[in-house]
Amino acid sequence: MFKHILIATDGSELATKAVATGLELAKTLAAKVTFVAVTERRTHLAPVFPPLVLTEEDEALKQAAEAVLAHASADAAKLKIICTTVHVPNAFPAESIVEEAKARGCDLIVMASHGRRGLARLVLGGETLRVLTHSEVPVLVCR
């Protein structure tokens, strides 16, 4: 059925539940896993100049993402699941999740959703909805 599962995580409590769910599914199906953590752009309004200069904030985000991915990878190792990890820096989460799934040949995306509605969803965004809308592969949403 599913042979390669992409699990998106940001280290939040809810994302941790999605990691656990994705790993349980991968173990059951003997599937391999790719974990992806996306750190968002510093600003959506204006480009940062020069664009290739890393700031302390960028380095902190990178270290946090690497820690999240290391924890997820350790969880996979405990279950003897083959996994890889990817950190996509300075990017839009939904776009990056869909692009990574396609580039790596994943046949399922597992991710969390806070389930916000109304104004909160408009203000805080809806990355899960964007992934659902743009993904060509099935998406398992965990709450």
- Residue 4 pairs in a beta bridge with 32
Both structure tokens of 62: 């990178």
pLDDT of residue 3: 98
Distance CA 72, CA 7 (A): 9
What are the residue boundaries of the structural domains of the chain, listed by start? Answer: 4-142
Which is nearest to 61 in space by CA: 85, 19, 90? 90
pLDDT (tens digit, 9 = 90+) per residue, 67-114? Answer: 999 999 999 999 999 999 999 999 999 999 999 999 999 999 999 987
Q: What is the mean pLDDT of the chain?
A: 87
Instruction: Over range 16-40, report the average pLDDT.
Output: 97
Q: Render the burial of 86-110: b for 16+ CB within 10 Å, e for the rest.
A: bbbebbbbbebbbebbeeeebebbb
- Residue 1 pairs in a beta bridge with none
- pTM of this structure: 0.86
Tell me the pLDDT band of 47, cut-offs 50, 70 and 90: low
pLDDT of residue 121: 46
The top-level CATH class assigned to 4-142 is alpha beta
User: Helix, strand or coil for residue 53?
Assistant: coil
